[in-house]
Amino acid sequence: MRRFSDEVHVRSGALGEAHDAPVQFVWRGRLYVVRELLSRWRERRAWWEHSAVAAVHGDEPAVTAVGAGRGGAASTARPVLELGDLEREVFRVEASVGRCAASGVYDLARSVALGTAAVSEGTGTTARGDADGAWQLLRVSD
């Protein structure tokens, strides 16, 4: 098993019982097609690695523009660690590059709002906090 922290572009859809599972993803310029959803779970993120925590300890400056568009200057702002930064939903999928290519197992993750249900009652949609749709590839077993 190899560990990664690479951003991937994911297309979600219905896969098995899940209505919002990854069905395709692009990693390092290659399109992977998901063959099977193997597992799905939630896990706590390493909050101590977040940039807001580093900024509190003086390792990274947190800068925001004040009066943007009116010639305002930048000032230091207090960093914020959002609740969605604390938990992520992980999908373990079997995927391959082409129809005949050997498949591998990939763990794809996205941020979720802390305390939200995995699936909203009756709608089949996920209640999550990833407004930007950011996904990460965490692990690869091939």
pLDDT, tens digit (0-9, with 9 covering 90-100), for 122-136: 334 343 433 346 899
- H helix intervals, 5-131: 51-56
Q: Domain span at residue 72?
A: 47-79
For residues 10 and 39, membership in a common domain is answered with yes
For residues 15 and 27, membership in a common domain is answered with yes
Share of the chain above pLDDT 90, in %: 41
For residues 57 and 40, membership in a common domain is answered with no
For residues 51 and 72, membership in a common domain is answered with yes
Provide mean pLDDT across the span 65-83: 55
Q: Is 25 in contact with 95 (CB distance < 8 Å)?
A: yes
Question: Residue 65: what pLDDT?
Answer: 47
> Which range is least confidently modeled, 2-11, 78-87, 127-136?
127-136
For residues 95 and 135, membership in a common domain is answered with yes
Minimal CA–CA distance to 22: which of 141, 138, 142, 122?
A: 138
The last residue of a domain, from among 31, 63, 79:
79
Show Cβ contacts of residue 45 under 8 Å, excluding neighbours closer than 6 positions. Answer: 85, 86, 87, 88, 111
For residues 127 and 63, membership in a common domain is answered with no
Residue 20 scores a pLDDT above 70: yes
For residues 66 and 102, membership in a common domain is answered with no
Question: Residue 56: what pLDDT?
Answer: 74
> Reduced to 3 DSSP states, what percent helix, strand and coil does the chain have, rounded to the nearest 5?
10, 50, 40
The last residue of a domain, from among 79, 97, 124:
79
Residue whose structure tokens are 């692009």: 26
Please give the tally of structural domains in the chain. Answer: 2
For residues 98 and 111, membership in a common domain is answered with yes
> Which range is least confidently modeled, 37-41, 56-60, 86-90, 104-108?
56-60
For residues 10 and 68, membership in a common domain is answered with no
For residues 65 and 114, membership in a common domain is answered with no
For residues 11 and 70, membership in a common domain is answered with no
For the chain, give the mean pLDDT.
77
Residue whose structure tokens are 């919002």: 20
Question: Residue 136: what pLDDT?
Answer: 95
Q: In whole angstroms, give the CA distance from residue 35 to residue 21.
A: 11
For residues 133 and 72, membership in a common domain is answered with no
The CA-atom distances, in angstroms, between 75 and each of 33, 57, 59, 63, 72 are 45, 18, 17, 6, 9
Question: Residue 126: what pLDDT?
Answer: 41
Which amino acid does the sequence have at 81? L
Q: In whole angstroms, give the CA distance from residue 53 to residue 96.
A: 37
Residue 85 scores a pLDDT above 70: no
Q: What is the pTM of this model?
A: 0.67
